[in-house]
């Protein structure tokens, strides 16, 4: 079980998205003493979502869903394609139960989540707030700020983040996600909101 699970919605390996997510996770671990793990979709062969019940998934799909269910808080990163989050991440969201129909668990409900988007250019920075954030609202998650968008100019040739301002924003996002998770745990109201429908 991880205190914070980093979900990397990229099929690339190595991955700029994974690099960004790991900066946030490393800060959360270093500054708040939490355990972190990475679920990188490039390492999993997920079934397409087809509405079956949670217990009917096997293999990589069952393992990925178990890791999400066992997580306490999340840093979710996606490459941005066509001004939206990756289709591989959309499929994962379609697999995650919401506490009705597919299973009686709702791992993202009342959980803290930090969002990261990556792209080649600055043009798609709104995808984090306008595309990815509403999906987390559908699940009833609480978002740590407006997320972070990282583009190609922020990376060096070896996929390391070279922009200090962006690195600091990612570090802050990681720490803020832990702080938000702890605030939710300590609040009767925050821990009960969940999805509206």
Residue pair 4/25 in contact (Cβ under 8 Å)? The answer is yes
pLDDT-derived band at 121 (thresholds 50, 70, 90) equals confident
Taking only the tens place, the pLDDT of each residue in 44-63 is 999 999 988 899 999 999 99
Taking only the tens place, the pLDDT of each residue in 3-48 is 899 999 999 999 999 999 999 999 999 999 999 999 999 999 999 9
User: CB-side exposure of 105: number of CA atoms within 13 Å?
Assistant: 16
| Alpha-carbon torsion angle 33, 38, 39, 40, nearest 10 | 160
Query: What is the average pLDDT score of the chain?
Result: 93
pTM: 0.95
The span from the CA of 22 to the CA of 44, in Å, is 18
Taking only the tens place, the pLDDT of each residue in 65-107 is 999 999 999 999 999 998 899 999 999 999 999 887 778 888 9
pLDDT over 60 (residue 146): yes
pLDDT over 70 (residue 1): no
Q: Of the candidates 121, 40, 39, 137, which has an alpha carbon nearest to the alpha carbon of residue 81?
A: 121
Domains of the chain, earliest start first? 4-186 (3.40.50.360)
């Amino acid at each position: 079980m991880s205190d914070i699970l980093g979900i990397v919605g990229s099929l690339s390996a190595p991955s700029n998205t994974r690099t960004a997510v790991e900066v946030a996770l490393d800060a959360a671990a270093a500054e708040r003493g939490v355990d972190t793990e990475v679920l990188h979709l490039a390492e999993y062969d997920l079934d397409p979502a087809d509405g079956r019940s949670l217990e009917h998934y096997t293999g990589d799909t069952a393992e990925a869903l178990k890791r999400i269910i066992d997580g306490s808080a999340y840093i979710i990163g996606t490459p941005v394609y066509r001004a939206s989050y990756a289709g591989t991440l959309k499929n994962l969201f379609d697999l995650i139960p919401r506490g009705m129909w597919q299973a009686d668990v709702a791992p993202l409900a009342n959980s803290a989540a930090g969002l990261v988007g990556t792209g080649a250019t600055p043009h798609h920075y709104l995808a984090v707030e306008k595309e990815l954030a509403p999906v987390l609202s559908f699940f009833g998650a609480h978002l740590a700020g407006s997320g972070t968008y990282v583009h190609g100019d922020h990376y060096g040739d070896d996929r390391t983040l070279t922009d200090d301002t962006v690195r600091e924003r990612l570090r802050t996002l990681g720490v803020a996600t832990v702080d938000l998770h702890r605030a939710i745990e300590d609040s009767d109201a925050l821990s009960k909101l969940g999805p509206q429908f």
